[in-house]
């Protein structure tokens, strides 16, 4: 290509020499030759002969959307609720499952799926194939917002468990008591489980049966969520409760590999005796040396405290001890006596029934359920009659002074103080109004 171009230019030069225009044309021709050669060279380097202008786009793989381990895009999904007296067998039978249903139900083991879990009102979903047959392929039963059971209804029946992810969200909440702890929790859109947990933490220091209007609390805790639905309360890190004008603190700290709650000075909130043996009731009759008996219609001493509560409410042992008496008599109905040590004994009357396994001579732990509220014996309605004896003499249960258990040890005190400072800073620096809550960034 270069030689041909040169020959063409050379012929032009010779022609121009004849016309006496040699020098300008010679310069222009040389420049032209190099320009043509450079253009050709660049063109060949930039666009190789074997490169095509057309290109095929790469295929992008899209992950299928799955739920309960099932590719949901492949099925039609219908949601139902278990009807009254409806069993797993009836549900599967109505779906006209082709597999051997009887054999499957006969061989179904409780550890794989307990058929008693199928309860009226619970939700379940059926996954139907997207074809002309629209056959049921899967049944997903919701045992709880977290726990599900997936039944494969294809050629062979089988079941496997599935759990949804639980997301903990750290929060600080505060509320003021206007009616009761339980009611005020619900009215302020707080999870009622928080009321139970707080009553457990402060069970030895706060009398939840005599809360005043204006009592209040603040608590830092984890609330558990599944698909934006609150499913429970996780760890409670710290709290304070203002009761009768006095503020009680609780800080979670681990000692001897056991996490429990302590006050701001490192004293354990756990004491020898609970403030009360049951949750969320009301005191219907107090300790008295002269009380008009509602059944006998006479005045006589009432050396105990009556807690009115719905029949069947669990009753807990006030403290560790040994059951020294269990039985029935005309006045007390079903009763239990627990000897805690060489000084204190507690008594519980009018049970509707005893807790399973409870018997005379057995050792019980503080907070262990020993029976259920009833109205046996001399009782006009369901309640618990609590008695406490000190060295054999009856004392007022509401005035019982309960010694605490071992405090934070000296070698753990510095670590404990750091935890207290951290939690107090988080709670006190969080500006929220009464009956409100905020979410902390973990």
Question: pLDDT (tens digit, 0 to 9) for every residue of the chain, 442 residues total?
Answer: 555 555 555 566 555 555 455 555 555 554 444 444 544 443 433 434 454 455 555 656 667 788 899 998 889 999 999 999 999 999 998 988 877 888 888 888 888 998 888 999 999 999 999 998 899 999 999 999 999 999 999 878 899 999 999 999 999 999 998 888 888 888 888 888 898 899 889 888 887 777 888 999 999 999 999 988 999 999 999 999 998 889 999 999 999 888 999 999 999 988 888 888 887 555 444 434 444 444 444 444 456 788 888 899 999 999 999 999 999 998 889 999 999 988 889 999 999 999 999 999 999 999 999 999 999 998 888 999 999 998 888 888 887 877 667 899 999 999 999 999 999 999 887 655 444 555 554 4
Among candidate residues 399, 371, 180, 181, the one with its CA nearest the CA of residue 273: 399
Helix axes 2-18, 22-46, angle to 10 degrees: 170
Under CATH, which architecture does the 67-163 domain have? Answer: Roll (3.10)
The pair phi, psi for residue 117, each rounded to 5°, is: -70, -20
The dotted CATH code for 167-271+430-439 is: 3.10.450.350
Looking at residue 434, what is its pLDDT? 45
* Domain segments of the chain as ranges: 1-31, 67-163, 167-271+430-439, 282-399
**Strand pairing partners for 124?**
80, 141
Looking at residue 386, what is its pLDDT? 92
Task: Given CATH 2.70.70.10, say whether it is the number of domain 282-399.
Answer: yes
Instruction: With beta carbons less than 8 A apart as the criterion, state whether 290 and 301 touch.
Output: yes
CATH fold match for the domains 67-163 and 167-271+430-439: yes
From residue 334, give the alpha-carbon distance in Å to each of 286, 388, 409: 20, 17, 43
Rounded distance between C-alpha atoms, residue 263 and residue 270, angstroms: 10
Rounded distance between C-alpha atoms, residue 294 and residue 178, angstroms: 31
Looking at residue 247, what is its pLDDT? 93
Looking at residue 63, what is its pLDDT? 72
Would you call 316 exposed, middle or buried from its count of C-beta atoms within 10 A (0-12, 13-18, 19+)? buried
């Amino acid at each position: 290509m270069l030689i041909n171009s040169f020959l063409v230019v050379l012929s032009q030069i010779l022609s121009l020499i004849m016309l006496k225009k040699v020098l300008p044309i010679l310069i222009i021709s040389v420049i032209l030759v190099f320009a043509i050669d450079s253009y050709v060279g660049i063109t060949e380097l930039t666009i190789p002969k074997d490169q095509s202008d057309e290109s095929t786009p790469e295929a992008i793989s899209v992950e299928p959307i799955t739920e309960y381990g099932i590719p949901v895009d492949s099925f039609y999904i219908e949601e139902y609720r278990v009807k009254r007296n409806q069993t797993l067998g009836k549900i599967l039978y109505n779906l006209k499952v082709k597999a051997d249903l009887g054999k499957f139900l006969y061989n179904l083991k409780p550890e794989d799926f307990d058929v008693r879990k199928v309860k009226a009102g619970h939700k379940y979903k059926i996954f139907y194939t997207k074809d002309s047959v629209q056959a049921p392929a899967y049944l997903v039963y919701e045992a709880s917002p977290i726990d599900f059971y997936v039944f494969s209804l294809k050629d062979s029946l089988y079941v496997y468990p599935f759990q949804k992810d639980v997301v903990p969200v750290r929060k600080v909440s505060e509320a003021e008591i206007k009616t009761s702890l339980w009611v005020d929790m619900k009215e302020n859109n707080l999870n009622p489980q928080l009321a139970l947990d707080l009553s457990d933490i402060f069970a030895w220091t706060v009398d939840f049966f005599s809360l005043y209007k204006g009592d209040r609390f603040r608590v830092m805790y984890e609330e558990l969520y599944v698909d934006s639905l609150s499913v429970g309360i996780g760890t409670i890190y710290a709290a304070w409760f203002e009761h009768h004008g006095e503020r009680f603190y609780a800080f979670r700290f681990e000692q001897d590999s056991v996490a429990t709650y302590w006050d701001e000075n490192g004293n354990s909130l756990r004491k020898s005796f609970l403030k009360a043996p049951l949750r969320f009731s009301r005191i219907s009759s107090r300790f008295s040396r002269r009380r008009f008996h509602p059944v006998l219609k006479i005045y006589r001493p009432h050396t105990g405290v009556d807690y009115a509560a719905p029949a069947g409410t669990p009753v807990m042992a006030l403290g560790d001890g040994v059951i020294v008496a269990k039985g029935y008599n005309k006045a007390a109905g079903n009763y239990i006596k627990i000897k805690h040590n060489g000084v204190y004994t507690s008594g519980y009357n009018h049970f509707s029934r005893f807790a399973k396994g409870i018997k005379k001579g057995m050792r019980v732990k503080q907070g262990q359920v020993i029976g259920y509220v009833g109205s046996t014996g001399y009782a006009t309605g369901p309640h618990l009659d609590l008695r406490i004896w000190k060295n054999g003499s009856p004392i007022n249960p509401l005035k019982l002074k309960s010694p605490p258990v071992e405090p934070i040890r000296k070698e753990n005190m510095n670590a404990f103080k750091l935890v207290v400072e951290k939690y107090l800073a988080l709670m006190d620096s969080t500006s929220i109004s009464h009956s409100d809550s905020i979410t902390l960034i973990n």
